[in-house]
Structure 1
Amino acid sequence: MELECLPYSVNHADEGVCLLVRMGPYRIMFDCGMENITPLQADLKQGLPADVVLCSHAHPDHARGFLALHQAFPQLPIYASEATTQLLPLNWPNLDPQKIPQFCQALPWRSPVEFQDGLCAELFPAGHLPGAAAIRLTYTTPRRTYTLVYTGDFFLSNSRLVEGLPLDALRGVEPDVLVVEGTYGTARHPHRRQQENQLAERISRAIANGQSVLLPVPTLGLGQEILMLLRSHHLFTGRDVDIWVDGSIAAGCDAYLNLLPHLPGSVQNFSRHQPLFWDERVRPRVRRLQPEQRQIVSKSPCIVFTDETADLNAYCHPDSGSWLILLPHRPGRPIAEEYQVLMSDSGTNPEPSRSQRKHKLTSPISVESYLLAQHCDGPGTTQLIHNLRPQHVVFMHGSPTYLADLTSLDELHNRYHLHSPSAGTLVELPIGETFLQPAAPETNYEGELTELGTVVTITLPDAITVDPRWQNFADTGLIEARWQGEELVLRGLTQRELLTQGSDRIPADLACCGRCLHQRGQRCWNQASPLFGFKVTPDGYCPVFEPSATQPRSLREDEQNN
């Protein structure tokens, strides 16, 4: 029996997810997150790119290409869960929702549906997002039944608005093939509730210090999760603070309200006592932000949710006071890179444009990242694999280095046939045949340790620098070491951590670069300074020092008097 997988796109670089599976005579497409569907239209000997199409959930990287796919092939059947069919139109915000055709057909949970003779699919809740589905695909022949499970994006833990993937329902399925995401690679995360508490505490501290908080988030998922967190967390219950929701995030909230029967029972119970999102009566107040309010919204410390692609200048202007911009942690992309994108006219040029320098650097802005994971970490991913016990595991949806970390795990490599294909690479999946597992990619580096009096030197081969993560690890040349059981774990210190640590050590009344208005990203951006454009240390000094708005009052008054 022919069983193979052809990934058109595996989301290695935010290009979306789309893959084609062939089971015997049938071709099944999973997701269509590509903006350009040209590869799906090429070399069509059978008229259609697939016999049936299944959508795992409504996030753009899995669904934004479906409308174009339907327009190109209107007779192609597309299926998803009922909640996903309602959320899909949010992928095309520039179109009138009434003019978007209802091209996606809803499937029930946990009830096999037969599409073709012997070909069935069954949906299981996958966590991650309302309506997100893990899909069990089966093809029955006279000799045996072949099974493939496609997770899409999944999350085992319960979040505020979505219950986690029910592992008990899939335990022991033993599919022939498991196609699973590896967004976070082998990373290990704190418990979900701990992540939530850390985020709530950081926002609470910023508000208490007189800062407004700006949260650029996607249309669906993360923004609504944080809103629900702030509405129900003890640090904010009854607190006199305004939460403003701008852009497409508000449309996402409205869509969630229409999905109330699909949300967890605790959320439905919450909604019986007070509104889920829009509420001007109960503190903290949650309101829609109108365009004309953007310039004045931060007269008192507040919290603003906006689109992740929005122009933040509309909120952070010279008269807007102090802002804390919180960016979601993106696997494989450090906060320093996110910070450069915000503070420069391009992601490759660390120097802001003239208009941005004048505009942004005259208002105190700090940028930090936070972790509120919606995907499984390494232990969660391996837990799912061990419970399903497939013969083949196909990894997708993650950076190549993170996926390589997963494929090199001994606990996986010794038990399963592992694949991590790039886009356009056909993967044959022989079932029940002798198959030699390829050698795991080399991820361990042997070095030497030398004790020299009061210091210890660890020497590693230069081959380690080939990994793209090395640049971030070695950026400052400083590392932090800690014991983890009997193992010593090394971690590179980022520029932002050094600045923060340096600021903590610098006396509050010292006029230095670490407390200067013009120091951003460990560089000086004051054109009148002899240090302009250069990296500076926190305790550096120049004659044109200007204190930031976060300086103690005495230091600002001293500078003004001088």
Structure 2
Amino acid sequence: MTQLECFPYGAGHGDEGVCLLVRMGPYRILLDCGLSDLTALSGDSLEVSAPADVVLCSHAHSDHAQGLLNLHRAFPQMPIYASEVTTQLLPLNWLDEPGRVPQFVHALPWRSPVEFQDGLTAELFPAGHLPGAAAILLTYTPPEGRSHSILYTGDFFLSNSRLVEGLRLEELRGLRPDVVIVEGTYGTARFPHRRQQENQIAERISRALSDRQSILLPLPMVGLGQELLMLLRSHHLFTGRDLDIWVDGTVASGCDAYLELLPHLPTSVQNFAKHQSLFWDDRIRPRVRRLHPEQRSLVGGSPCIVLTDFSIDWQEFCEDSPERWLILLPHHLEEGLIEISPEYDIETYVLAQHCDGASTTQFIHNLRPQHVIFVHGDPNYLVDLTGLDELHNRYHLHSPASGSLVELPIGETFLQPAPPETTYEGELTELGTVVTITLPDAITHDPRWRSLSDTGLIEARWQGQDLVLRGLTQRELMTQNNERSPAWMDSSEKDCCFRCRHYRGQRCWNPGSPLFNFKVTPDGYCPVFEAAQTAMEPTREDVDQAPG
């Protein structure tokens, strides 16, 4: 029987990169190398034999590619391959290297099997997500017996975006690989259609500009930044608008790299570029200009948009007048940056670059493999995917941690392990004018409970026949309250926190309230409001911290 195994040196959990060693018969194939430290590949010394017979890189994002240069330097004879576009984008990972890094990654064509060793072939298919991103089909045909195949998606996206066409399912539908290694970045989450997401972020930016705010968008070097810039250049809310868009740091370097890729971008983008510059343009509104570091403190005098690196100290732009800036973060980058400076006006947005839960399951059902390995995502999100009945009942599911070997027997009968416990049984009670939902305390053991219970308040909405519950964060409450007039300072009667007898020092001290011991806004509200005997005068601290 042909040996099939997958050993993740990096499974892409949290901040770790993706680096997967696949064994097919006698051959070892390394899929991506997003490791910043290569000691996991060969211990403390790299003076050993090459860790693989061949290396294949799915795309140029650093969490999949940053270790390739050091890997090449350690094992210069080990061949490394990627799509042609990816070979052009990869040098962006080594901008800090002195001198020009020579080309060491070999380009492979699309949709054409290439044989590396006797019986071992690889074929690349466009995967969406980023220009040049590839889904990689590995096939091994032994001297005797049937062929075996593994499909690795890398990061993939089924929907078309502004600068990249989505993965075409019809190209893969008949492949029937034995194993699919698929990313699960968003877990089982569901998102609106891509165009709806674009309209939502465009409308939010437009509204802030109308309110005389400037917009700061911290972004990675390639991918999302260029997508947003193209959106701002072509959306009807911004075309012809007297507006400056500034592009800073490595995001600007990413734009320059995209300009070199124009023949590989979608036809609609190439047609756009025939009439006006794709990015840099001082002539047509909105104007797009490159921003130099010494100019960072100078922009924002009039409303503008700034795209910058998410790794820099973005307070340089707005520390003198934070009230004139709105910082918009991709939802997956929010937590780390808010910890730096929570007093700024920060909101998040969704502009998906990966498949949501529904698209991921659709993709798997179209391929019908025996084994599915989930990588690249929060471990809790991957557990959610492995717990789906519609997947668990049909496929052998795996979600390995880094350093855990996954054996992949094909055609054998073995018991599928029990799915992880991701559902909780509770009770629902109707009590007059309120409904109480009781859940077991085991639910609090999940790390996500903390964000759900942040304020003790939830939002409920119907999704078909299902009722979806979502926790409301302090930041959302502040945003909602800021959009309302500060009626808490009126003399009118209102059942708000400011007029509750348990409100002291901007906190709720009612043990029976879901807001107990939380910092609350004066115009907040909870179901156990108790009126103070006399309306208290606002303290200086209350006035300073009041919404609006």
What SS does the aligned partner of 2:489 have? coil
Task: Single out whichever of 67-76 and 45-54 deviates more from structure 2.
Answer: 45-54
What SS does the aligned partner of 1:266 have? helix
The Cα of 1:210 is off from its aligned counterpart by 0.3
Q: Is the 8 A contact 2:522 2:546 kept in 1?
A: no
Match 2:374 to one of 395, 409, 426 = 395
Q: Is the 8 A contact 2:521 2:546 kept in 1?
A: no
Name the residue aligned to 1:557: none
The Cα of 1:46 is off from its aligned counterpart by 7.4
Name the residue aligned to 2:390: 411
The Cα of 1:481 is off from its aligned counterpart by 1.6
Name the residue aligned to 1:269: 271
Q: Is the 8 A contact 1:502 1:538 kept in 2?
A: no
Name the residue aligned to 2:540: 543
Equivalences for residues 263-302 of structure 1 within 5 A: 263-302=265-304
Verify: 1:117 aligned to 2:118, yes or no.
yes
The Cα of 1:545 is off from its aligned counterpart by 5.7
Task: Single out whichever of 75-84 and 140-149 deviates more from structure 2.
Answer: 140-149
Name the residue aligned to 1:467: 446
Q: Is the 8 A contact 1:172 1:389 kept in 2?
A: no
Name the residue aligned to 2:478: 499
Question: How many percent of aligned residue pairs carry the same amino acid?
Answer: 69
The Cα of 1:506 is off from its aligned counterpart by 4.5
The alpha-carbon distance between structure 1 residues 401 and 544, as it changes in their structure 2 partners (threshold 3 A), is: closer
Q: Is the 8 A contact 2:82 2:105 kept in 1?
A: yes
Name the residue aligned to 1:482: 461
Name the residue aligned to 2:327: 325
The Cα of 1:450 is off from its aligned counterpart by 1.6
- Counterpart-to-counterpart distance in 1, 2:24 and 2:33: 19
The Cα of 1:319 is off from its aligned counterpart by 4.6
Q: Is the 8 A contact 2:521 2:547 kept in 1?
A: no
Name the residue aligned to 2:502: none
Name the residue aligned to 1:310: 312
Name the residue aligned to 1:152: 154
For the aligned residue pairs, the C-alpha RMSD in angstroms reads 2.4
Q: Match for 1:341: what amino acid?
A: E
What SS does the aligned partner of 2:19 have? strand
Q: Match for 1:196: what amino acid?
A: E
- Counterpart-to-counterpart distance in 2, 1:514 and 1:204: 33
CA deviation string 1:161-182 (max 9, x = no partner): 0000011100021101000000
Q: Is the 8 A contact 2:249 2:293 kept in 1?
A: no
Q: Is the 8 A contact 1:299 1:321 kept in 2?
A: no
- Counterpart-to-counterpart distance in 2, 1:237 and 1:547: 39
Q: Is the 8 A contact 2:217 2:308 kept in 1?
A: yes
The alpha-carbon distance between structure 1 residues 343 and 163, as it changes in their structure 2 partners (threshold 3 A), is: same
Match 2:189 to one of 174, 187, 190 = 187
- Counterpart-to-counterpart distance in 1, 2:541 and 2:463: 46
What SS does the aligned partner of 1:343 have? coil
Verify: 1:343 aligned to 2:341, yes or no.
yes
- Counterpart-to-counterpart distance in 1, 2:237 and 2:506: 36
CA deviation string 1:90-129 (max 9, x = no partner): 1122124x53121100000001100000100000000000
CA deviation string 1:161-206 (max 9, x = no partner): 0000011100021101000000000111000000000011111111
- Counterpart-to-counterpart distance in 2, 1:465 and 1:19: 33
Verify: 1:132 aligned to 2:133, yes or no.
yes
Equivalences for residues 372-383 of structure 1 within 5 A: 372-383=351-362
CA deviation string 1:16-38 (max 9, x = no partner): 00010000000000000010010
Q: Match for 1:535: what amino acid?
A: K
The Cα of 1:339 is off from its aligned counterpart by 5.4
- Counterpart-to-counterpart distance in 2, 1:550 and 1:445: 37
Task: Single out whichever of 484-493 and 272-281 deviates more from structure 2.
Answer: 484-493
Name the residue aligned to 1:39: 40
The Cα of 1:310 is off from its aligned counterpart by 1.0
Task: Single out whichever of 310-319 and 403-412 deviates more from structure 2.
Answer: 310-319
CA deviation string 1:459-480 (max 9, x = no partner): 1111111111111101111112
- Counterpart-to-counterpart distance in 2, 1:51 and 1:157: 34
- Counterpart-to-counterpart distance in 1, 2:546 and 2:85: 47
Q: Is the 8 A contact 2:322 2:345 kept in 1?
A: no
- Counterpart-to-counterpart distance in 2, 1:160 and 1:514: 46
- Counterpart-to-counterpart distance in 2, 1:121 and 1:465: 45
Q: Is the 8 A contact 2:249 2:309 kept in 1?
A: yes
Task: Single out whichever of 8-17 and 235-244 deviates more from structure 2.
Answer: 8-17
Name the residue aligned to 1:170: 172
The alpha-carbon distance between structure 1 residues 511 and 40, as it changes in their structure 2 partners (threshold 3 A), is: farther
The alpha-carbon distance between structure 1 residues 544 and 118, as it changes in their structure 2 partners (threshold 3 A), is: closer
The Cα of 1:401 is off from its aligned counterpart by 0.8
Q: Is the 8 A contact 1:502 1:514 kept in 2?
A: no
Verify: 1:425 aligned to 2:422, yes or no.
no
What SS does the aligned partner of 2:50 have? coil
Q: Is the 8 A contact 1:503 1:514 kept in 2?
A: no
- Counterpart-to-counterpart distance in 1, 2:58 and 2:116: 17
- Counterpart-to-counterpart distance in 2, 1:396 and 1:340: 27
Name the residue aligned to 2:89: 87
Query: Runs ≥4 in structure 1, deviation > 4 angstroms?
Result: 43-46, 511-515, 544-551
Q: Match for 1:379: what amino acid?
A: A
Name the residue aligned to 2:105: 104
Name the residue aligned to 2:501: none
- Counterpart-to-counterpart distance in 2, 1:506 and 1:545: 15
Q: Is the 8 A contact 1:170 1:388 kept in 2?
A: yes
Q: Is the 8 A contact 2:327 2:345 kept in 1?
A: yes
Verify: 1:232 aligned to 2:234, yes or no.
yes
Q: Match for 2:101: what amino acid?
A: I
TM-score by length of 2: 0.89
Verify: 1:510 aligned to 2:489, yes or no.
yes
The Cα of 1:548 is off from its aligned counterpart by 8.5
The alpha-carbon distance between structure 1 residues 45 and 275, as it changes in their structure 2 partners (threshold 3 A), is: closer
The Cα of 1:320 is off from its aligned counterpart by 6.9
The Cα of 1:53 is off from its aligned counterpart by 0.2
The Cα of 1:487 is off from its aligned counterpart by 2.0
- Counterpart-to-counterpart distance in 2, 1:544 and 1:504: 20
Name the residue aligned to 2:421: 442
Name the residue aligned to 2:62: 60
The Cα of 1:290 is off from its aligned counterpart by 1.8
Q: Is the 8 A contact 1:216 1:307 kept in 2?
A: yes
TM-score by length of 1: 0.87
- Counterpart-to-counterpart distance in 2, 1:549 and 1:323: 18
Name the residue aligned to 1:371: 350
- Counterpart-to-counterpart distance in 1, 2:270 and 2:66: 29
- Counterpart-to-counterpart distance in 2, 1:446 and 1:79: 49
- Counterpart-to-counterpart distance in 2, 1:164 and 1:503: 38
The Cα of 1:143 is off from its aligned counterpart by 1.3
Q: Is the 8 A contact 1:218 1:249 kept in 2?
A: yes
- Counterpart-to-counterpart distance in 2, 1:184 and 1:461: 26
The Cα of 1:227 is off from its aligned counterpart by 0.2
The Cα of 1:549 is off from its aligned counterpart by 12
Q: Match for 2:522: what amino acid?
A: P
The Cα of 1:485 is off from its aligned counterpart by 2.4
CA deviation string 1:340-367 (max 9, x = no partner): 32316xxxxxxxxxxxxxxxx6xxx410
What SS does the aligned partner of 1:179 have? strand
The alpha-carbon distance between structure 1 residues 304 and 377, as it changes in their structure 2 partners (threshold 3 A), is: same
Name the residue aligned to 2:8: 7
Q: Is the 8 A contact 1:125 1:131 kept in 2?
A: yes
